Structure 1
């Protein structure tokens, strides 16, 4: 197998194993640049996760009330991702809402214990996603389930590219943010545009405009409050963008 093909598979495997709890390769040797290059595949990994949601939705809808199916789908996505992005949302909420200044906010975000602001953010996010799913028209629900995880993971790429790492020391997200290049940004952006056009045609581009707006609002806010982003911030962006996608689709129906 050509080396270039092997590298592409390696970067996909890194993205898959970082974003999900499902192992795809037993041993992966990766340097920081490999971690950054794997972000080109984030929308693809998201689309596969969306495919799993679509299969469960198609299989369960005929036999279980749709409101229960929607709850199962939300729980399934949390399980498949290990709740990593929700954890980031909770930590970010605790830090930004509970910290008096940048240093205290970053310190709180390091704390492994969830605070009251984190709990509130989790409850609001899960409730909002559930309610949005229950109100999606059946005509587009399958497409939205496919696209939602993809668009959320693309947003992590764009925020990483246009930001700096907020901490002075080491961190899980540092190699992703510091080594990410325009190539990964371009590849992931082309991928998400094609995915949205395939799923929603012109409406997908309108939704994409809203996603870009929310992503850069998050970027501006994190820069203002923290001087950059952390891995927790990227998880929060993913969750917020997924919800934005659902709400945008509902608004355009």
Structure 2
């Protein structure tokens, strides 16, 4: 019973931290709960996706396909509070500054957004919109449910496969310090099962690619800052969501036509 309560607490913490869903529950938690709770990050992504799918089903009755996806992107930003997009912007500002590790981390911590950060957000949102609009109608609802799970899977991998880059405390320290291989494996199973249910056996290829991709990006980032931060976890989330959409489109549009 204690274990069930602990898991339930950590799941609620993930919903409270990664979404703007109004859960008015004052939970007594520790730093460990954030890192260990990341095992539920892919499931949190599925909940975000289900909400987005519901919004799509409502809006498609009144608006053209292209307009609906503009609303979907806005709804996603509102639903997540833009927390991962903020991490994406900070990460790109830091990594593309051409500075030393210490200066990169300083830039990433700065609340102000720079040119590289703006370009990263605009480019990714434009690409997401183009990918959404290009989806076949029969695939839209499934993709809307699954793509946020791919993003949160990437954050889990980023936390579990790296150390904390800063010498001082930061927002991502609790996640990175207390998330280990056990959480990554369990979260990967949740994520892969969701992909399998949604896309069938062929979806396992996409699941594998979207587990490998954030790990590769993480290792490239580690060459710059010798670890990860909360901003990096957010950047991995947003990048992997877009990568999921690209993989899905290539797999359905190219490989399916070949075979």
TM range (shorter): over 0.9
Q: Does 1:90 align with 2:89?
A: yes
Q: Which residue in 2 is equivalent to 1:72?
A: 71
RMSD, aligned CA: 1.1
Given that 2:153 and 2:211 are in contact with CA atoms closer than 8 Å, whether structure 1 keeps it comes out as no
In 1, the alpha carbon distance for the partners of 2:55 and 2:17 equals 23
Report the more deviating stretch, 228-237 or 177-186.
177-186
The aligned residue for residue 129 of structure 2 is 130
Instruction: Give unmatched runs, 5+ long, in structure 2.
Output: 253-259
SS at match of 2:202: helix
1:93-112: CA deviation from partner (whole Å, max 9, x where unpaired): 10011142111111111111
Aligned to 2:14: 15
The structural deviation recorded for 1:183 is 2.6
Q: Does 1:182 align with 2:190?
A: no
> Gaps (5+ residues) in structure 1?
none
Following the alignment from structure 2 to structure 1, what is the Cα–Cα distance between the partners of residues 98 and 31? 30
C-alpha distance in structure 2 between counterparts of 1:109 and 1:99, whole Å = 13
Please tell me whether the aligned partners of residues 13 and 25 of structure 1 are also in contact (alpha carbons under 8 angstroms): no
Deviations 1:56-83 (A, max 9, x none): 1111112200101001101101101100
Contact 2:161 2:181 in 1 (8 A): no
Give the C-alpha shift of residue 234 in structure 1: 0.6
**Displacement after TM superposition at 1:147 (Å):** 0.3
CA drift at 1:132? 0.4
Match of 1:117?
Answer: 116
TM-score calculated relative to the size of structure 1: 0.97
TM-score by length of 2: 0.95
Q: Indicate the larger mover: 16-25 or 101-110.
A: 16-25
Quote the offset at 1:186 in angstroms. 2.0
Describe the superposition over 1:127-171 as per-residue Cα deviations: whole angstroms up to 9, x where unpaired.
000000000111111110000001110111112111011100001
Tell me if 1:202 matches 2:201: yes
Aligned structure 1 segments of 4 or more residues deviating by more than 6 angstroms = none
Q: Deviations over 1:30-70 (max 9, x none)?
A: 11111112111111111010000111111111220010100
Partners in 2 of 1:181 and 1:213 — Cα distance?
17
